Amino acid sequence: MDTAAEQQTDRTPFFALLVSYAMVYFSLMIALVAVPWFVLETTGSAARTGIVAAIQGIPMIFAGIFGGVIVDRIGFKRTAMISDLVAGFAFGMIPLLYYTTGITFWQLLFFVFMRATFDTPGFTARHSMMPDIAGRAGIRLERANSMVQTLMQSAMLLAPASAGILIGIIGSSSVLWISTGMFFVSVTTVGLFIPTLVPSSQGSVQSQTRYLGQLKGGLSFVFGTRIILALMITVMAVQFVRANQMVILPVYGHDIFQSASAFGFMFGAMGAGGLVTAIAFGIWGHRWPRRGVILIGASSLGFMFFMLAATPPYWIILVGMFITGLMNGPMIPLVFTMIQENTPAEFRGRVFGLYDAAIFTAMVPGRLLAGLLIEWTSLVQTLLIIGLSYILAVVGMILNPNLRDLRPPVSGDTEPKPEEDSPSSDSDPEAAPPLEPGKARS
C-alpha cells in the first residue's frame, strides 16, 4: 500500500481528535459545577455567582464573530492548541492564587473571561478539522459527528455528578486542577497525533484591511449560502429554547417537587435519550431523511414544554424527557455534517466561528427571558408561552424553502469565490494539500 493510500485510512488523528473533544467537554462540564460552587464558598454571594455565570457568554459571542478569521489564518491545529493552553492556564491560575497569595473576585472574573474567550476558537478549530481528519480515516461525516455528540452527551451525564462527588472529597478549588489537567492532555494529544492537514487562508498576521476583508468574505459566504444560513437560523431558534431549560427546569424541580434531585434526574433523562440516538445516528444516520431529522428534533422541545405545563406525575415527566432527548439527539451532529459538507476548507474557521457566535447570541437572551417571564407571570404560563412560540418557529422551519432539499452536495472541482484581499503566497509551508471540498450549494 502506498503512502497516499495509508494516509487515506490513517485513523490515529481521528481518535486523537476525539480524545481532544472528550477532554475539553469533560473539563468544561466539571468546571460548570466547580466554578459556581467555588464562588459560593469563597464569597457567599448568589449575586456574584450569577455575575460569573453571565460573564462567560459575552466573550463567546465576539470570539465567534471575530475569531474565525484568526482560526483560518493561523491554522486549525495551532488554534486548538493555543486555545487549550490559554484555557488550561486560566483554570489553573484560580486554585494557584487561592492557595498562595489569595484570589480576589475581580481576578476570578478575569480568568473566567479569559477562558471563555478562547473556548470558541478552540471548538471552531476542532469542528473545522473534522472533515479532513474523518476523510483520511475513511469515516463518514455523519458517524464522526455523532461520535462527538456522544462524547458531549456523556460529559453532560457523568461530569457534573463526578464533580459534585469530588468537591465533597477534595474541595472545589482542587477540582479545578482536574479541569486544568484535562486541557493540557488535549494540547498534548493534538500536538503529537494530529498533523497540519488543512491549509486555509493562513499566514502571518497582516494589516487591518486584510483582516476586515477576510471577515467580510466569511460573512458574505454565510449569507450567500442559503443552506448554511437556514441551518444557523434553525439552530439559533433551538438553542434559544434549550437555554430556557437551564432556568426553567431548576425552578420546576424546586416549585413542583421541592427537590434538587428531581431536576437532576429530569436533565439526566433527556441526556440519556440524546445519547441513545446520537449513537444510532452514527450507525444508520446516513440513511435517515435529513429534513425529517431536523424537523423532529426541533419539534421535540415544543413537546417538552407542553408536557411540563400539564404537571403530570413524575415518572411521566422522566419518560417524556427521555423521549425528547431521543427525538433531539441526532439534530446537532447532522447540522455539523451539513455545514462541513457545504463549506470549503478555507472558510471553515469563519463559518464555525459565526455558528458558535449565533448559538451564544441566542442563549444569553433565552436565559434572561425565561427568568423574567416566570417572575412576571407564573411557571406554567411561561411554559405555555414558550411552547406556543416554538410552534410558530417550527412552522417557519417547515415553510422555509431552503430546508427542503438537504441532500449532500455533489462533489466537484468548483472553487469558492475569491475573497477580498485574499492571500496568495503566505500559506502554511507545513500544510499538506487539502482534500477536495464538495461544491457548496447557494
Residue 374 lies in a domain: no
3-class state of residue 438 by DSSP = strand
Least confident of 141-155, 180-194, 198-212, 323-337: 198-212
Is 395 contained in some domain? no
The overall average pLDDT reported for the chain is 80
pLDDT per position as a tens digit, 49-75: 767 766 777 777 787 778 888 888 888
pLDDT tens for 146-194 read 899 889 888 877 887 788 778 888 888 898 999 999 999 999 999 999 9
Give the whole-angstrom CA distance, residue 273 versus residue 295.
17
Q: Distance between CA atoms of 151 and 26, rounded to whole angstroms?
A: 9
Residue 369: inside a domain: no
Q: Contact 410/438 with Cβ under 8 angstroms?
A: yes
| pLDDT for 116 | 87
Domain that includes residue 63, residue range: 1-212
Q: Three cell numbers at 77?
A: 491545529
Residue 432 lies in a domain: no
Is 54 inside any structural domain? yes
Instruction: Dump pLDDT digits (tens) for 396-408.
Output: 888 888 888 888 7
Taking only the tens place, the pLDDT of each residue in 428-439 is 433 444 444 444
* CA nearest to 112, candidates 219, 38, 5: 38
Q: How confident is the model at residue 336 (pLDDT cuts 50, 70, 90)?
A: confident
User: What's the one-letter identity of residue 56?
Assistant: Q
Tell me what pLDDT residue 92 has: 94
Asked if residue 13 has pLDDT above 50, the reply is: yes
Taking the CB of residue 429, how many other CB atoms lie within 10 A of it? 8
How distant, in Å, are the alpha carbons of 16, 60, 149, 216, 378 from that of 223?
Answer: 33, 21, 26, 10, 39
Of the candidates 401, 408, 260, 272, the one whose C-alpha atom is nearest the C-alpha of residue 334 is: 408
Confidence of residue 413 (pLDDT cuts 50, 70, 90): very low
Mean pLDDT of 398-427: 60
> What CATH number is attached to the domain comprising 55?
1.20.1250.20
For 183-221, what is the HEC assignment? Answer: HHHHHHHHHHHCCCCCCCCCCCCCCHHHHHHHHHHHHHH
Instruction: Give a yes or no: residue 171 inside a domain.
Output: yes
Does the structure show a pLDDT above 70 at 202? Answer: no
Residue 389 covered by a domain: no
Rounded to whole angstroms, how far apart are CA atoms 243 and 314? 22
pLDDT at 246: 66
Give yes or no for residue 77 having a pLDDT over 90. Answer: yes
- Count up the domains in the chain and report the number: 1
- pLDDT tens digits, one per residue of 108-118: 999 999 998 88
Q: What percent of the chain has pLDDT over 90?
A: 22
Q: Is residue 239 part of a domain?
A: no
